[in-house]
Structure 1
Amino acid sequence: MTILSTQEILDAGLDDWRKLPQALHARFLTGDFTTGLAFVSGVGELAEAAGHHPDIALAYPHVDLTLVSHDASGVTGRDVDLARRISDLAGRRGISADPAAPTVVELALDTADPTAIGPFWAALLTGDAHAVAGDDVVDPTGRVPLLWFQHTGAHETPRQRFHLDVWVPHDAAEARIAAAVAAGGTVVDDAAAPSFTVLADAEGNRACVCTTLDR
């Protein structure tokens, strides 16, 4: 299977879905548990027919869906096809989507030696010191956010080593940044926008608002 680029996904016209780091995400506003449960059942039938299955989170007012081709480690045409079928199902049932809602949080840790600290963080977060893939600590069960190691030079002076990467839909980034600034934050660096924008709180703690554009 061929992994689709961000532009190819945008060109597919999936109005209900947004590409975040590695997958397609959508939130459908079912309004109540019974409607959500019936919608999930319908999605399950579509998935079985397609031989391809999304991750599903059912809550009282909404259903969150994630689509990715794990065997290709990215979004492929079969994800796009199933996303369209799910949106058609939602439309027939009068269920709308909230394309600005999907959000993925990753943790980034500065280090000059990922191999020295990787097993510790893997064991702490997942219970398995071997749950390290390259520069990432990965929990296959999805219990904790992905932790990735950002390579830096060695340093002894204490400073912030962690920062959050907050992935949002490409067309929701400006509003998210504006909300953070209105709440007392500042924009530290937007040279790489819309790929990522560095923000800081009133005490200088930093985070990045990230999108899949220009990557």
Structure 2
Amino acid sequence: MDTLTVTEILDASLTDWRRLAQGLHARYRTRDFRTGLALVDAAAQAAEEADHHPDVTLRYASVEFRLLSHDAGGVTDRDVELARRISEIAAGLGVEATPQKLALVELGLDTADVAALGPFWAALLTGSATNVDGDDVVDRTGQTPLIWFQHTDPHETPRQRFHLDVWVPHDVADERIAAAVAAGGTIVDDSPAPTFTVLADAEGNRACVCTCLGR
């Protein structure tokens, strides 16, 4: 099954959902645990019927869903169809979507030798040195952030090696950047925007605000 482009995903008009780093994400404000559990239970039934299953995080007052076709390596029509079904279920329960609350953090590490560093970080974070997929350290349990390796020339410390990638909905990025600047940050480079914007704190530590646009 073919993966969908960012434009195709946006054209699908999934009001509740946003494309972040790789998958479709939705967050629903359920206000109490019982309503959240009802939403998860109904979504699980729909997922079984579709034979396609989201990642789900249930908290006291909210539920988050992530949809991704792992076998295709991206978002497909299956994800879009199930996203629409979950939105219908949420609406039927009177549950409000809060896409503006979505965020996803990844760690980027500059290195000239992925083969040497990858197994170490995989073992440290996941307990197995084999959890390296290309340039990524992947925690299949979802307990730790994804680490991806940014290829660079060899260099000595203290040049910054780690940086945060903060993924936010494309229609929230400007607000998030403005908030960070107002809190003492600076914009280092916005030429790649809206794909990503490089920010720095007062001591020069950098992070990127990333969106799905332009990818």
For Structure 1 versus Structure 2, the TM-score category normalised by the shorter chain is over 0.9
Offset from partner CA, 1:58-77 (integer Å, 9 cap, x none): 11111000111111111100
Residues 124-164 of structure 1 show CA distances to partners (whole Å, capped at 9, x for unaligned) of 11111111111111111111111111111111242211000
Equivalent in the alignment of 1:184: 184
The secondary structure found in structure 2 opposite 1:100 is helix
**1:93 aligned partner, one-letter code:** L
Question: Bigger shift: 201-210 or 156-165?
Answer: 156-165
Structure 1, unaligned stretches of length 5 or more? none
1:88-107 to 2 correspondence within 5 Å? 88-107=88-107
Secondary structure of the corresponding residue to residue 100 of structure 2: coil
Quick one: distance in 1 between partners of 2:70 and 2:139? Answer: 14
Q: Deviations for 1:70-113, whole angstroms, at most 9, x for unmatched residues?
A: 11111100110010011111111111100112211110111111
**Cross-structure match for 1:34:** 34
Cα shift readout 1:148-200 (whole Å, capped 9, x = no counterpart): 11111111242211000000100010011011111110100000000000000
2:91 is the alignment partner of 1:82: no
How far apart in 2 are the matches of 1:118 and 1:45?
38
Query: Counterparts of 1:148 and 1:109 in 2: how far apart (Å)?
Result: 6
TM-score calculated relative to the size of structure 1: 0.98
93-102 or 187-196, which moves further after superposition?
93-102
CA distance in 1, matches of 2:65, 2:89: 13
Match of 1:160 in 2: 160
Give the SS at the match of 2:101: coil
**CA shift for structure 1 position 26:** 0.2
- 1:49 maps to which residue? 49
Number of aligned residues:
215
Residue 53 of structure 1: how far off its partner (Å): 0.9
Question: Secondary structure of 1:75's match?
Answer: coil
- 2:67 and 2:156 map into 1 onto residues whose CA distance is 42
Task: State the alpha-carbon separation in 2 of the partners of residues 66 and 9 from structure 1.
Answer: 14
SS in 2 for 1:15: coil
Say if 2:126 is the partner of 1:126. yes
Structure 2 partner of 1:11? 11
Q: SS state of the match for residue 66, structure 2? A: strand
The alpha-carbon distance between structure 1 residues 157 and 51, as it changes in their structure 2 partners (threshold 3 A), is closer
Structure 2 match to 1:61: 61
TM-score, normalised on structure 2?
0.98
Q: Which residue of 2 aligns with 1:199?
A: 199
Percent identical: 67
- What SS is found at the alignment partner of 1:213? coil
Give the equivalent residue in structure 2 for 1:148. 148
One-letter code aligned to 2:144 = V
The match for 1:213 is 213
Code of the residue aligned with 2:90 in structure 1: it is A
Q: Counterparts of 1:19 and 1:156 in 2: how far apart (Å)?
A: 36
RMSD between aligned residues: 0.9
Which residue of the partner structure matches residue 111 of structure 2?
111
